[in-house]
Chain A
Amino acid sequence: MSSSNTDPKIDAFRAQILHAAKNKTPLSIEGGGTKSWYGNTNTYSKLDTRAYSGILEYQPEELVITACAGTPLKEIEAALKDKNQVLAFEPPHFGEHATFGGAIAAGLAGPGRISAGNFRDFVLGTRILDGKGQDLSFGGKVMKNVAGYDVSRLMPGSMGTLGLLLEASLKVLPKPAGTATLRCQISQEKALHILNEWAGQPLPLSASCWIGNPNEEGQLTIRLAGAIAAIKAAIPLMSASVNASEVDPQSAEIFWNNLREHQLSCFGNLAADQTLYRLALPAACGPLTIPGASNEIVLEWHGQQRWIKAPGDEATFTLIKQLISSHGGHATRFKQGANVNSAFERFTLLSEQVHSKALEAVQARLRSAFDPAGVFATKRLP
């Protein structure tokens, strides 16, 4: 139900929204600005969420945390760590000042996504201000709730184009009792094959990453997480089939964190005319050859998320989109080199996908239901 308590900070947000609605000038919502490079660019005036900050409720035995959008993400993770709990989908921070709201709006997930689920799987409820300045609450703080449409789960990945997120309740999970990391040298094709085979077996496989040149052997790193006994039993079994060895826990933790934060060397050195492309693909997709791509590629999520560096021009993106769509996935211009035209569309459009053309009109109506005046119509997400 709409919250009756008034907060001067929320009143200030509302005033900014109503002003924007009146002047028909969209607002670009921003937290810590750590992901400002992600999504389509705009020059609209900013709505800064950071004033509305703080953890509102956290009861570890409920597995739920409720916090304000402007809360630093690190503050939330520190509170969870204190109680031995985690955000199992490991959202990347991409900078020290990442906020809770920004992480939700970006909707990105880290290595744990393949086993734990994506960001929206963990969203239980939200409080938002819509484009009319209305204070709305959807969902709740309980695990199971089917009252009303699940509007809350539209927020992850909506890039601030649906409404201003004020608060959210997320499901959290206990930190796994044990973890172990294994590493081996293996070809991309064999890696994709064995990862999918393992994923269909009762093994504590929690994350995977293959880094290498498409046609050579590369480095496969896998993470096991769960009951200590289950990990102990799985290590010899999985090591034997790929001739892997265990990575020491400290180096392993650094590796998985660097992967999550794109701090591994393979994510660096983006040439001025290059783009870092994110490819989201079905499990069935084998190795792909991308024209003009740099040699080193990164495969995560058992091959369902792939990172490649390739020329940032429109022709290359068009080719990549066609190739990825033909495999049932979609491509994103994730990060741009210094000389790539920043006005280029970053995402695959609904109209470019089979059977989603009709969704374009639905999505437009959905947005205007929450935001008739176009206060959040920054096009940051098309």
Chain B
Amino acid sequence: MLTELDEHFYHQTPSPVDAIRDSDPRFVDQHWFQCMDTEGRWIVGANWPIWPNSGIIENGQIIVHGDTQYNLRYSRTLERDGYRSDRIRQQVGPATMEVIEPLRKARFTLDSDNAWGISYDLTMDTFLKPVQTRTPIAFGGPASLPGVLPYFEIMGRWTGELKVDGQTYDVNHENTWGQRDRCWASLGGERWQGWLPPGPGGTVSPRGAGRIHWHSHIQFEDIGFWWWMDEFLGQPRLGGTLADNRGGHFDGAVTWPVDDPRQEIRVVDFTDIDVTAQPGTSKFQSARITLIDEYGEEYPLEFEILKPNATRHIRGEGYGQPRFLGGYQGDWHEEHDKYDLSDFSTYKDFSPQIWDGEHAVRCRFGDREGIGHMEMSGQPPLPQWGFF
């Protein structure tokens, strides 16, 4: 069926844009963001997966305020309205998102008409040049049907307003930093686990004993860093590519402010890694790493969580949920829950791994101080850090 999108010169297959020629039901096209108060008082993030072959758009919202994580999950079917395509109408229940200027500006909103009464209107202006994985990420799964995911990320500064728990936060470029990303994939979403035989090391990223996953977006005023690591310490690793899921792999980039004439530099290796947990828990506290770029230059970086519970736990967005991420739940579906982040005894229900979550961190690079995001998890044994 033709839509307005077919008037444009951007087809990739001999089929209408709305009709994916590859009928893989795992095909997803997704927006995602996380923005962080630089004092660690709150974090907001959401995912926006569209599943064209299943005819579904989903939206998972996480708002961390103080010691509470609020979660909202929505799903609806994609519908056509005349020649309009729903693939570019990101509106699900009370939530919307809009690319205002490609790669430069995007707006995310949540109306207060939701189970938690939280609302926001947040716009990200790109601050650092977008970076893309050098190769598509090869996710776990069997060799017969691996997940493949091209992926790029944009770091920026935010404006707008957040209302939560009776408080209103003014959001501006100085007090709110963060990032958004875009990926489109044939991805082993949670709905397809069980369809496929187990692959090497798991079903999403390579997993297994002794594995560290560390995915970061780090901003300073004059430089930025992005990397993705799945590491089995002491085991072989491919550096500079994520296109292999048999063991450790690592990719990254050094990026610059958008108007800086310098081109990105790929990060191909790292050393001097250390991670510290909060006392008596496996919750992330601090870390350090030295990145090594393609020319051999080293970038020693240090991180400290902004507040003990400045972490989003993405099960709240639907990751790991048995029904979300690609599952048809009727023309409309919504659900909500919340996590008490001050009670570590409950973490096993939503964040069972070591250092688990999407942390808002203060960063240091020489004399520079910045803000960053750390998506991190570890699987024992990691004896050097006391986890056996």
A, B co-complexed: no
